[in-house]
Amino acid sequence: MGPRLFLIVCFSALAAASLASVGVGTWLISTELPEGAQDVADIVIVYGGGIACLLVATIAVLWAYLDYAIAQPLSAIVRGIQTVIHANPDHRIEVDDSHQLGNLPQAVGELVGQLAQARSTVSAAILKATESVEHQKTQLGIVLQDLHEGVVVCNLNHSILLYNNRALELLHIAGEIGLDRSLLRFMNRQPILHALTRLSNRVAEGRHMRHAEGVMVSFVGSTTDGRYTLDGRMSLILDSDDVPSGYVISFEDDTEELAALGLRDRLLREATEGLRAPVGNLRAAAEILNSASDMTGEEQTAFRQVVLKESKYLSDRLETLSAQYRDVITGSWPMTDIYSANLLNNVAHRLREQSSLNAMMTGIPQWLHGDSYTLVELLDRVIRKVGAFAGTDTFELEAVAGERHVYLDVVWTGGVVQTSKLSSWLDDQLEETLGGLTLRDVLEHHKTDIWSLPHRDGLARLRLPLPPAIRPPSSRDTRNRPSRPEFYDFELLKKPAQLGQLGGRTLKSINYVVFDTETTGLEPSAGDEIISIAGVRVVNGRILTGESFERFVDPGRPIPKDSIRFHGITDEMIKDKPPVQVVLPQFRDFVADSVLVAHNAAFDLKFLKLKEAECGVKFDMAALDTLLLSVYLHDYTTRHTLDAIAQRFGIEVQGRHTALGDALVTAGVFLKMIEVLEARGVHTLDEAIEASNTIVEVRARQASF
Amino acid sequence: MAKSILVVEDEPNIVLSLQFLMKKAGFDVRVARDGEEALMAVEERAPDLILLDVMIPKRDGYDVCQTIRANPEWSDIVIIMLTAKGREVDREKGIALGANDYVTKPFSTRDLTEKVKQILDSSG
């Protein structure tokens, strides 16, 4: 009951009581009067009525004043407090000055003010804490995204709270994975429940305190669609009272490793137990043939047949088993996919730093499967030995794609290393930390061998075949970016450069820089800019991988979203990069007096030309276009994109769609083209430019229709 | 004159069979039991064909093959490697170092004899 209603009730009761007492008093007096005093009785009634009226009026006035001065302000204060609590913390309580509540409104006002202040302090603190948590969450997210392993965080109901890209990649298949969905929809439940039970029991019994693995347990799981076998580890998340509140699972796709392990086991079993019976048969028959002298011709023939049949069976069986064993790709030694450029770069660096030997990388880098550390050790050791043996300090390192292997070739000027000598080097041990591993062991782990052969032009070569990568990034990268449309500025390519003597030189003997640019769009004259430029040197028919140029450029404008699907370069990536005025002169220095080569060269050249004045450099050297040369060489097809040509020449396209990746592929394509051009009678630079020009003219004529 | 074959093997059991088979096929057969003996035999008189085991003492089969191929005078000698090393990369190494063919043990004696006959007959 509110204060106003309370007053009404109280004062109504008071009025009723007053009326009742006056009424009863009047009635008693009038009944006590003697007979015949009617006049007095009338007077008493009239006075009683008057008193009653006066009482009621007084009570009403009193009520009205109390209601106005006390009850109404109290109600206002109550409403105000409610507003502060539920709606607006900054609300100020207002009460008319005519109230009779003394200091109450003021005191309440102060209290509310202090409450509001305390509250805002608390929310500021909460906000700050939340921001810090958000920041940590973002950091954690970034770390998780970069992890090679899949990571999923769940609560005890298996609802997914957090996951990373790799988890998405491995689990995605069974429908969309998403937050607040059950992990059990994506991973088979039994292994997870079992692991969780083991851990929960371990914690409940307090064993986790002294357990070697604490709150972690390994398990073998699988995706619900059965595509992946997962090598998983589960860790419990404990709250401050050591009560489990959730779990973290990290996992890796172990399908191939486990399959290989299983196959190895089976082969071993078949090679031992499976061969017992046939060897037994063979031995029995041979012994009998040897010892029994009193044998009929028929009996002898029967035993001979056994010997023949069983040895044939053994031969065939052995063949099958060893063929199967060869296919077991992964050994017990841990291996990963490696990019040959990184591997050889490591080798080159070590040779330079520790042995003052020069190693230059050539060719198109390849992806292979191996153990980087021991391979670097092996190559470093062997190359140093070759250096001492052949008396040379300069080497070329090249990765070559073969049908079944990726070859790492080491080339030097001088004699071949005799197999027996090479073989004797392989008994050397690597560093002690590797437990006395020899170079030969490294070869065995990779199921390979190494040999030396004569190379062209009095050079010698060391060849190390290695398994190709199991999942090279090109097969992982499912983004299929569109090719740039063909682009012609006919004037730009038609004009033969002032070549002089260079024009008469053979294509093979000329130094080239094969390059590629990525741009914000297709129209340089409409404000599109270079955002990345890369080139690689080609000398004496070899791609010098180690001598490449690669720069991002700040275009001084935002990168249009539409163009990102072509090049994958975002504003974030070119932030803090130098402008074109810095990069183009650097590129000009890199090019020096080489001939430029590019695919769809007119497009890239146009961008360079437009920046010449601004950058104070000139790109007036001769240029060849692999697109025009392709049209010249393969006029039967209309497919002349870089991908199509690379495929036609059997060049493995790896790391495509970066400026350097594309430049490398273009260089590979260009070298193949030189061979075909020679076969078609195009030998010199002049002749190649002439051949291109005929194509430009044809296309110009086509374009004019 | 009968074509000559050099069998380079250190395992007497298989030498027994190879010698028997090749003689029976009408070839002139010599046997060397290690790498150095093999090279001496070739220097003494170059055979038309060598059946060369890889795992032999002193200098291994690959080394013998490479040495023979390094000498242009011996470029006509046909080299067939006979070996227990059955990996793809071993075969590739053998061919790379100059072997004409690469046969893994165990092999069919009849197939091998046919192969040798075919090669030597076609080389005239």
B110 and chain A: CB distance < 8 Å anywhere?
no
Q: What is the DSSP letter of A641?
A: S
The complex scores an ipTM of 0.86
**Confidence band (pLDDT; 50, 70, 90) for A484?**
low
Residue with tokens 């052949």: A390
Structural domain boundaries in chain B: 4-122
B59 vs A314, A420, A453: nearest CB: A420
Let me know if residue A331 belongs to a domain: no
**CATH for B4-122 (3.40.50.1970, 1.10.3720.10, 3.40.50.1450, 3.40.50.2300):** 3.40.50.2300
H/E stretch holding A279 reads helix A255-291
Domain boundary among A145, A172, A203: A145
**Confidence band (pLDDT; 50, 70, 90) for A671?**
very high
Let me know if residue A566 belongs to a domain: yes
> Taking CB atoms and an 8 Å cutoff, what residues of chain A touch B102?
none
Residues A657 and A523 in one domain: yes
**What integer best gives the mean pLDDT of chain A?**
83
Please name the residues between 46 and 65 in chain B that touch chain A, using a CB distance below 8 Å: 59-60, 62-63
Which residues, given as ranges, of chain B have pLDDT below 50?
none
Q: What's residue A362's pLDDT? A: 87
Q: What's residue A495's pLDDT? A: 45
Q: What's residue B41's pLDDT? A: 95
Q: What is the DSSP letter of A223?
A: B
Residue A620, both tokens? 């007036």
B92 and chain A: CB distance < 8 Å anywhere?
yes
Taking only the tens place, the pLDDT of each residue in A538-595 is 988 888 887 888 888 988 888 888 788 778 788 888 888 888 888 998 899 889 889 9
The answer to whether B61 and B81 are in contact (CB under 8 A) is yes
Taking only the tens place, the pLDDT of each residue in A248-260 is 999 888 777 777 7
The answer to whether A362 and A348 are in contact (CB under 8 A) is no
**pTM, 2 dp:** 0.59
User: What does the pLDDT average to over A305-321?
Assistant: 88
Closest to A688 measured CA to CA, from A626, A601, A642: A626
Number of independent structural domains in chain A:
5
What are the helix (H) ranges across A148-232? 165-171, 189-204
Residue A558's domain is classified under what CATH number? 3.30.420.10
The better pLDDT of the pair A699, A298 is held by A298
Give me the helix-helix angle, A72-86 and A104-146, nearest 10°: 10
**Confidence band (pLDDT; 50, 70, 90) for A494?**
very low
Domain boundary among A306, A326, A346: A326
- Please, what is the Cα angle at A67 between A66 and A72, to 5 degrees? 125
**Confidence band (pLDDT; 50, 70, 90) for A696?**
confident
State how far the Cα of A248 lies from the Cα of A253, in Å rounded to an integer. Answer: 17
Residues A427 and A519 in one domain: no
State how far the Cα of A348 lies from the Cα of A382, in Å rounded to an integer. Answer: 13
Please name the residues between 2 and 31 in chain B that touch chain A, using a CB distance below 8 Å: none
A99 tagged catalytic = no
**Confidence band (pLDDT; 50, 70, 90) for A695?**
confident
State how far the Cα of A124 lies from the Cα of A238, in Å rounded to an integer. Answer: 29
Inter-chain CB proximity B88 and A326 less than 8 Å: yes
Inter-chain CB proximity A449 and B90 less than 8 Å: yes
> Taking CB atoms and an 8 Å cutoff, what residues of chain A touch B59?
420
Residues A80 and A156 in one domain: no
Inter-chain CB proximity B67 and A311 less than 8 Å: no
> What percent of chain A is predicted at pLDDT more than 90?
17
User: What does the pLDDT average to over A416-442?
Assistant: 84
d(CA B55, nearest CA chain A) in Å: 12
What is chain A's Cα-based Rg?
46
Residues A101 and A245 in one domain: no
Inter-chain CB proximity B97 and A326 less than 8 Å: no
Exposure letters A245-284 (e unless 16+ CB within 10 A, then b): ebbbbbbbbbbebbebeeebeebeeeeeeeeeebeebbee
Q: What's residue B42's pLDDT? A: 95
Q: Is the pLDDT of residue A5 over 80?
A: yes
Chain B, nearest residue to A308 by Cα: B108
Catalytic annotation, pick one of A86, A135, A657, A683: A657
Chain B, nearest residue to A314 by Cα: B106
Q: Which domain holds residue A648?
A: 477-704
**Confidence band (pLDDT; 50, 70, 90) for A476?**
very low
Q: Which of A119-128, A641-650, B18-27 has the highest mean pLDDT?
A: B18-27
Inter-chain CB proximity B97 and A451 less than 8 Å: yes
